[in-house]
A and B are shown apart, each in its own frame.
Chain A
């Protein structure tokens, strides 16, 4: 039973990883994507709508990516090019997405008598490897998005620390003037990172609707976009740290679902388990002593008066 729990935890950490790693790249370049909750939400909705209408999960994921990137583009345009406040703009977009998704769910599907569902992402056991005792069930009996996660983490690490573009991204968040003076367009770098966050955030959101639950509801994300945001912070803006963070939170979530299902209500109330990831975030945020915050995180780059 416990391996099943761990496997479930790994699955639950997938969307958090997509979200937090893209947030790492964006924040390393100096931009906090505070619209992340909204991006997750529209990813979830577009993924569901796309899948339901086309019958194909693949199309659904593409729709989610498209919706995510468009939303991120709006956010990036306002915060990077128009240089407006990141918290304020993110909040506006999050509210807008709430309305947008609920509204267009109505537009496309009306008011259904029974909830609409799709078949979620199938589990694809990898031949041979999935037969290995314990490890096979844990790592090699997952869905495609989770498998991609295994590749995304090392690639992210490599790009960030061992390539020229990674050096540029990191420098942009620390001292955009140095990058500007070196002849690189600061805004282009930041905007690209935000767009990537849009693509990955869209996929992350879609995971909840078409990868796991098989349906859509406006409260499906419930703050998990923010948890991905927090993980970037707690993971010290490092892909490795983000990965570890998502594993911890994935475990917390899987545990919560498990405790609820076995009716652990006797000992601890359900609500405690639901609140667990959030309490965990608070505790970890308080106890973290030192951070490598990118020096110019959140500050729009202005050149002339």
Chain B
């Protein structure tokens, strides 16, 4: 067991390294010195607590979308709609916050917003699980398309009902301070959303590995036939799993709207969904691993933004880094499995006296 964990850490670290190296090589096309640029990236992360805190701010929604994909993945289901569920969560958070913020104490409003976001995202995601259970629909396609539908719903609302009172841009009014998620550390943008995210990750881990519901979800994911023969109702599980998954992605919207942006702007965070997928892959769908992978992506994004500001590097370097890192992590899966086979074979040959 120890050998395998060592392999995992080593190959993942190497993968991240190679991913960054390749991205760095791309910088040469811009006549930029990659070592200098990456030097700026890493050193600036620690230059002040505001920047350092931003890593975790950026990581927060990614933990949720990563958990969202990973959770359904455990049941061998594909929720490609996290981005859309995030939008739905954002819309609900903004709309309910704006309407309740003057009506009641902020804390109470926040709790109601949270609950409604969970329910709304859960239903939006749960719909996919429902059609899979009832009609055996391909959830990959439906969840993916639902993102574009959610996007258009959000755009429509931002253009009409939710539009700011000024009426200039497609965005909502700012949320009043009462319904802001409180800051975790003064002098940064880090808010309690991060704590909620980590708690969610731990909660999902416990759910998956320490409860009978989680056991049944994993059994269905590994072998739906054997699960069925064991009296496990896969259909009910599809709906529950997609509900939870949708709710998780939606809460990312809550933390972003109430914790970071304090408003809803058109076109914000357009990649949290696919980044969440990438993070889930990096972490091999392990909820605790997702926390770390999200922080890594947070580092890449925060650092990438600074790099783009200070070294005049285009911000698309961020997606380049993410993409390269993901590819190398996938390659590391391959390398690890080959190592494992080689190890077993040589053990055998030793025993046979070759």
Residues of A within 8 A of B (CB): 74, 78, 82-85, 87-89, 91-104, 106-107, 218, 223, 226, 229-230, 233, 269-272, 274-275, 278-279, 281-282, 285-287
Contacts and interface: CB of A to CB of B under 8 A. Distances in A.
Interface string B313-326: 01011111111101
Contacts, number: 133
B319 A99 contact: yes
Contacts of A279: 145, 149
Contact of B320 (A74, A83, A103): A103
6 contacts: A88-B281, A96-B324, A99-B316, A102-B314, A107-B29, A226-B144
Given A99-B323, A269-B156, A275-B153, 5 more contacts: A85-B330, A91-B277, A91-B278, A107-B29, A278-B145
- Kindly list the 5 A-B residue pairs having the minimum CB-CB distance in the complex, ordered from nearest: A96-B323, A99-B319, A102-B316, A99-B320, A92-B326
B314 A106 contact: yes
Contact of B152 (A95, A96, A274): A274
Q: Is the interface of A mostly helix, strand, loop or mixed?
A: helix
Contacts of B320: 96, 99-100, 103
A83 B333 CA distance: 10
B203 to A, nearest CB: 25
Contacts of A97: 323
A100 B324 CA distance: 10
Contacts of A271: 152-153, 155-156, 159
Most buried by A among B277, B323, B326, B331: B323
Interface of B: 26, 29-30, 78, 131, 135, 137-138, 140-142, 144-146, 148-149, 151-153, 155-156, 159-160, 271, 274-275, 277-278, 281, 314, 316-324, 326-327, 330-331, 333-334
A95 B142 contact: no
Q: Is the interface of B mostly helix, strand, loop or mixed?
A: helix
A291 to B, nearest CB: 9
A299 to B, nearest CB: 13
Contacts of A89: 327, 330
B30 A95 contact: no
B149 A233 contact: no
Contacts of B326: 91-92, 95-96
Nearest to A290: B136
Contact of A98 (B151, B314, B319): B319
B141 A285 contact: yes
Most buried by B among A226, A279, A286: A286
A271 B170 CA distance: 13
A129 to B, nearest CB: 38
A93 B327 contact: yes
B330 A88 contact: yes
Nearest to B135: A286
A102 B314 CA distance: 8
A275 B149 contact: yes
B274 A91 contact: yes
